[in-house]
């Protein structure tokens, strides 16, 4: 059982997830090749540029002059300019301002957006939990793993981005209770969202509003609620004796997908309105946890299969809700979160009692480790 569910159930026993994207996969069976045929600028940025192209996973970086795309790059102290050669077509892409590091991310994203008509993943911010010095705190990193810690407590967990990435929600475990805090990046401060007693966990802010879905138990059962950050109005969405967990919003905020054990073990359900009967997403009897709903209208989640957790996806436009399992490598793959491009997923991997973060390609199943160190878990990507 993944970390999110374990934390929730352990506490229960002790106390009583821009416009929608449309991505069409190319008929090719691998990424197109790309070659940096010339570079003018600092070697440090050249190394970062190559790393960023590799981690974006939209291209295969090669030294071959016959690559599908050729790049000529000029990096100065003020800007970064690329001449993209696509057959006979030449396009200039220039990024100014920011730091050299940010210019690299923006430039590669611009190339991806130009060629594939989707937001590139390189500017994705990844919030996750780092276990260090007998404490767990929330850390934010870029695609390469360069990170900054934003909380300083004994146990903080379950980070989630919301409302155009202006806010980050997370759960903080105190001595006598569990709280949900909201970090406001616009004001560089935080607020306590939940004051009710009992379980308070799994908060995720909507994409287009300030409604926050969360799991609370102050009324005697563990149920799904929403609370508006601005008005603090609380609405109950489920009312039963089963345990709910891990909500995630639909891209247009018209529904919430969450985990419930009402069928005997954790599986995925959806609700469009408060107190309606939850709809089970699929008849598959395997355990499913930690869903995340992309702007391309796909769900990713962890599924228990052949004795380990694997990353799986469901296209919500598919009437059959067919499950596609991605991670075929050993270890438990947990807590998946979609990147900005709606194609790649960041998730945790537990192998030999070590925890790392990986980028998983939902098209081809390839993986790339993120250099964020070990003892890391519960990643959440900005959208």
pLDDT of residue 36: 98
Same-domain status, 87 and 190: no
The 10s digit of each residue's pLDDT in 208-250 is 999 999 999 999 999 999 999 999 999 999 999 999 999 999 9
Domain with residue 60: its CATH number is 3.30.160.100
Rounded to 5 degrees, φ, ψ at 118 are -135, 155
pLDDT at 372: 77
248 and 329 fall within a common domain: yes
In a domain, 229, yes or no: yes
Over residues 277-283, mean pLDDT: 96
Whether residue 301 lies inside any domain: the answer is yes
Same domain, 167 and 224: yes
pLDDT at 178: 85
Task: Give dist(CA 80, CA 74) in Å, integer.
Answer: 6
Q: What is the largest CA-CA distance in the chain?
A: 68
- Out of 116, 137, 155, a domain closes at 116
Q: Classify residue 7: in a domain, yes or no.
A: no
pLDDT of residue 186: 84
Cα separations (Å) of 242 from 158, 225, 267?
21, 14, 12
Burial of 375 (0-12, 13-18, 19+ CB in 10 A): middle
Q: Give the structural domain span for 347.
A: 124-381
What's the number of CA atoms in the CB half-sphere (13 Å) around residue 139? 25
Q: Can you give the pLDDT at residue 170?
A: 96
Q: Are residues 290 and 372 in the same domain?
A: yes
Task: Please tell me the total count of domains within the chain.
Answer: 2
- Does residue 2 register a pLDDT over 80? no
pLDDT of residue 24: 45
- Residue-level pLDDT at 29: 81
**Tens of pLDDT, residues 83-110:** 999 999 999 999 999 999 999 999 999 9
The answer to whether 71 touches 62, Cβ cutoff 8 Å, is: no
Which pLDDT score is estimated for 13?
A: 34
Q: Are residues 129 and 104 both part of a single domain?
A: no
Same domain assignment for residues 68 and 177? no
Question: Within a domain: residue 86?
Answer: yes
pLDDT at 28: 63
Per-residue confidence (pLDDT) for residue 382, from 0 to 100 = 96
> Do residues 187 and 279 both lie within one domain?
yes
Domain boundary among 116, 150, 182: 116
What are the tens digits of pLDDT across the range 298-345?
999 999 999 999 999 999 999 999 999 997 899 999 999 999 999 999
Express each pLDDT in 147-193 by its tens digit. 999 999 999 999 999 988 999 999 998 877 788 999 998 887 889 99
The whole-number average pLDDT for the span 34-52 is 97
> Has residue 141 been placed in a domain?
yes
Are residues 158 and 256 both part of a single domain? Answer: yes
Which among 88, 116, 144 is the end of a domain? 116
- Spatial distance between the Cα atoms of 8 and 289, rounded to a whole number of angstroms: 12
Average pLDDT of the residues in 8-17? 39
- Please, are residues 290 and 8 in contact by the beta-carbon 8 Å criterion? no
Number of Cβ atoms within 10 Å of the Cβ of 62 = 13
Instruction: Report strand pairing: 33-40 vs 69-75.
Output: parallel
Proportion of the chain above pLDDT 90, given as a percent? 83
Instruction: Find the DSSP H helices in the chain.
Output: 3-15, 43-56, 100-116
Cα dihedral: 370, 375, 379, 381 (round 10): -40
CATH number at residue 361: 2.120.10.30
Considering the domain architecture, whether residues 128 and 78 belong to the same structural domain is answered as: no
Q: How many CB atoms lie within 10 A of CB 163?
A: 17
Claim to verify: residue 364 and residue 224 sit in the same structural domain: yes
In terms of pLDDT, which residue wins out, 7 or 356?
356
Chain mean pLDDT for the chain: 91
Please give the Cα distance from 383 to 379 (Å, whole number). 13
**Co-location of 104 and 190 in the same domain:** no
Query: Confidence class of residue 26 from pLDDT cuts 50, 70 and 90?
Result: very low
Same domain, 300 and 204: yes
**pLDDT tens-digit map of 335-364:** 999 999 999 999 999 999 899 999 999 999
Contact of 340 with 113, CB cutoff 8 Å: no
């Amino acid at each position: 059982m993944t970390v999110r569910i374990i934390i929730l159930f352990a506490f229960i026993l002790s106390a009583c997830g821009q416009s929608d994207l449309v991505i069409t996969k190319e008929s090719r069976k691998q990424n197109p090749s790309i070659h940096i045929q010339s570079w003018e600028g600092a070697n440090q940025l050249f190394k970062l540029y190559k790393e960023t192209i590799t981690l974006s996973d939209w291209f295969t970086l090669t030294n071959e002059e016959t690559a599908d795309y050729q790049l000529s790059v000029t990096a100065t102290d003020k800007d970064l300019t690329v001449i993209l050669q696509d057959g006979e077509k030449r396009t200039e892409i220039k990024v100014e301002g920011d730091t050299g590091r940010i210019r690299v991310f923006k430039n590669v994203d611009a190339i991806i957006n130009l060629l594939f008509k989707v937001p590139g993943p390189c500017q994705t911010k990844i919030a996750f939990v780092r276990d260090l010095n007998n404490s767990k705190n929330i850390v934010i990193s870029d695609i390469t793993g360069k990170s900054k810690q934003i909380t300083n407590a004994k146990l903080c967990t379950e980070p989630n981005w919301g409302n155009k990435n202006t806010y980050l929600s997370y759960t903080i475990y105190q001595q006598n209770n569990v709280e949900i805090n909201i970090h406001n990046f616009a004001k560089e401060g935080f607020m306590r969202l939940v004051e009710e007693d009992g379980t308070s966990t799994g908060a995720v802010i909507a994409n287009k509003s300030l409604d926050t879905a969360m799991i609370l138990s102050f009324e005697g059962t563990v149920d799904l609620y929403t609370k508006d950050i601005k008005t603090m109005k609380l609405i109950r969405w489920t009312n039963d004796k089963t345990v709910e967990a891990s909500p995630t919003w639909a891209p247009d905020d018209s529904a919430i997908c969450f985990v419930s054990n009402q069928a005997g073990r954790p599986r995925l359900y959806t609700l469009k309105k408060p107190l309606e009967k939850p709809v089970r997403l699929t008849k598959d009897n395997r355990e499913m946890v930690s869903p995340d709903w992309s702007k391309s209208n796909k769900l990713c989640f962890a599924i228990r299969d052949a004795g380990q957790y694997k990353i799986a996806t469901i296209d919500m436009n598919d009437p059959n809700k067919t499950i596609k399992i991605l991670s075929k490598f050993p270890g438990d793959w947990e807590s998946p979160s979609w990147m900005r491009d709606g194609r790649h997923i960041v998730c945790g991997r537990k192998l030999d009692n070590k925890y790392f973060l990986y980028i998983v390609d939902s098209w081809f199943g390839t993986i790339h480790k993120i250099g964020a160190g070990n003892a890391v878990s519960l990643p959440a990507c900005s959208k």
